[in-house]
Structure 1
């Protein structure tokens, strides 16, 4: 399951953005595309993935640790709570967030998830840990997701903000 969740979250975000654009106003503008992509990346790969990681690390700690190739640890509770905060912030940012709020979510994600991604790379290099929760899609989305949020925010700033929600 660990392998598929990040992939499914990204596919859901792209499908929701496309569906929203296709049923929205015409013509479809670059501003609308950027808005929908950002909105649904915040909802799915940030929001729902964060809540999913919280549930895994807090309520299914042994399975979560095993999927990463680690032994269970009391620190998983802290990681889970950080994921919950990021997930809830992502959901708020996807539905209600201002550009400043969304930027703050992106910066926190870059610090936490980017740091986790570096940790995964180190584990692969130093120990050969190829577990799905260490070297699978999670590794890539730990970098991709915060960079996508911050990149879309920058693009929005450069081309203008949406006129509709």
Structure 2
């Protein structure tokens, strides 16, 4: 559930800026903070867990321990965490590229976790509760990007 906390931090940061008044400005600001705060924190947290505490994370999710794929996922998460920080200095085209890169990762992960629940009856906390952020984060980024553009 830490992912949802990161997502909410991005929203709260926007709400704390009372000078933004138009829908486009609000959505652009929300998008910025979701990219910079939510993706950065999510990426770093995912990296630390999947790389340095792989077996503990595997047990929490209900998956087999010792898979090197967790470390690969961890490094991918570090990559999008770094991309989140770079959104501070990069323009909207970069923001869109980051959204395009992370959305299939998050939505694909949600599908994998859902299949794991249906096929293997894996309802462990780490497998089931991650569905919400795996869907909310990319869908909110996509929505905010389109609202901010039009």
Which TM-score applies when normalising by structure 1? 0.85
Partner of 2:56, secondary structure, is helix
Deviations 1:52-98 (A, max 9, x none): 000000011111111111122111110000111111112222x1231
Paired position in structure 2 for 1:8: 5
1:107 maps to 2:105? no
Structure 1 runs (4+) greater than 4 angstroms displaced: none
- CA separation in 2, counterparts of 1:113 and 1:7? 13
> Which of 74, 81, 94 lines up with 2:75 in the alignment?
81
Matched, 1:145 2:145: no
Of 59, 64, 75 in structure 2, the residue corresponding to residue 66 of structure 1 is: 59
Deviations 1:13-69 (A, max 9, x none): 1111111x22x36xx222221122101111232111011000000011111111111
Structure 1 residue 129: deviation in Å? Answer: 0.9
Q: CA RMSD in A?
A: 1.3
Partner Cα separation in structure 2 for residue 11 and residue 148 of structure 1 = 12
For structure 2, the residue ranges without an aligned partner over 5 or more in a row are: none
Q: Aligned-pair distance for 1:123?
A: 0.3
- TM-score w.r.t. length of structure 2: 0.93
Is this contact kept in 2: 1:50–1:84, CA < 8 A?
yes
Equivalent pairs, count: 149
**Whole-Å Cα distance in 2 between the matches of residues 70 and 118 of structure 1?**
15
User: What SS does structure 2 have at the residue aligned with 1:148?
Assistant: helix
TM-superposed CA distance for 1:152, in Å, is 1.1
